[in-house]
Amino acid sequence: MSNISSTPLPLDRKCSLSLIAPLESILFDIDGTLCDSDPLHYYAFREMLQEVGFNGGIPITEEFYSEHFSGKNNEYLCSTVFHDWDLQTARKFLDDKEAMFRRLAAEQLEPVKGLDKLCKWIENQGFRRAAVTNSPRASGELMISSLGLSDFFEILVIGGECTRAKPFPDPYLKALETLQVSHKHAFIFEDSVSGVKAGVAAGMPVVGLGTRNPETWLTDAGATFVIKDFEDPKLWEALEELERKAEATTVAT
C-alpha cells in the first residue's frame, strides 16, 4: 500500500487491517454504508422513470438499479443511462429525483445496525473521520444530519466537486489531504463497487458493507472483507487486532 495508484492494489483478504497500524483515520461512504438508503433511491428512480416512460413505461427492477445506478454520480448517469437524453433534461430529471429522495429520507432514513456503537468507539479512540460521497451536497448533508452525525464528521467530500468522482480515487485522496493523514494509516467503509474501486485506487483497505450489493461484487472490486453491518464480529475482531498491534508498537518504541 505504499504507492497510490489508479489500479486496485493486492490486499490481505483474511479480515485483517493490521497493515495500517497505527490507525489514524476512518473514511465513510454515506449511501448504503451509514444508512440503508438504496431502497429510497430505488423507489424514487422507479417512480419517476416510469412516469416519463423510461423502458417503455415498465418499472425498473432492483437488479437494474443496482447495476446501473447504485454508487454512480449524476454526471456519469447523464453520459451512460441517459446518454440519448438532452443533457439539461437529464440533469433536471436527476435533480428532481434527488429532491424526491430527500423528502423520503427526511422521514424514513435509518442507520445501519451498530453505527452508533462504532461512532462512539471511533470518538473514544480519537481517530480522524470524513464522509465521502458521490451524492449531491444537499443529499449528503441531509443524510448526515438525519443520522445525527453532523458533529461526528470533520469534513464532507462530494465526488461531483472533485476533478473526478468515484470510481476514481480523487474524493478519497481529497479527504486524506484535508485531514492531513496518510493512506498508510487509514481505511474505508463502502457498499458499492464504484466506491470500493475508488478506495482501493487511493491505496487504502476497504471494508465492504453488504447492505444491498452481493458480497462477490465487492470482493471482486477489491474489498479486503465484507461485513453484514457494524455489529459484525469480523469487523470488531479486525479492530481489536489493530488495537493490539498499535499497543505493541508503542511498547516496542
Q: Which residues are catalytic?
A: 29, 31
Q: Compute CA distances 3 → 51, 197, 204, whole Å.
A: 47, 15, 10
d(CA 73, CA 167): 9
d(CA 1, CA 9): 7
Q: Compute CA distances 46 → 34, 79, 139, 140, whole Å.
A: 23, 19, 18, 21
Q: Which of 175, 167, 88, 106 is nearest to 134 (CA)?
A: 167
Catalogue the long-range contacts made by 101-108 (C-beta closer than 8 Å, 24 or more residues apart). Answer: 101/37, 101/40, 101/41, 101/44, 101/139, 102/138, 102/139, 102/142, 104/40, 104/43, 104/44, 105/37, 105/40, 105/139, 105/142, 105/143, 105/146, 106/142, 106/146, 108/40
d(CA 62, CA 77): 17
Q: Compute CA distances 1 → 26, 87, 203, whole Å.
A: 16, 39, 5
Cis amide linkage into residue 167, ω under 30° from 0: yes
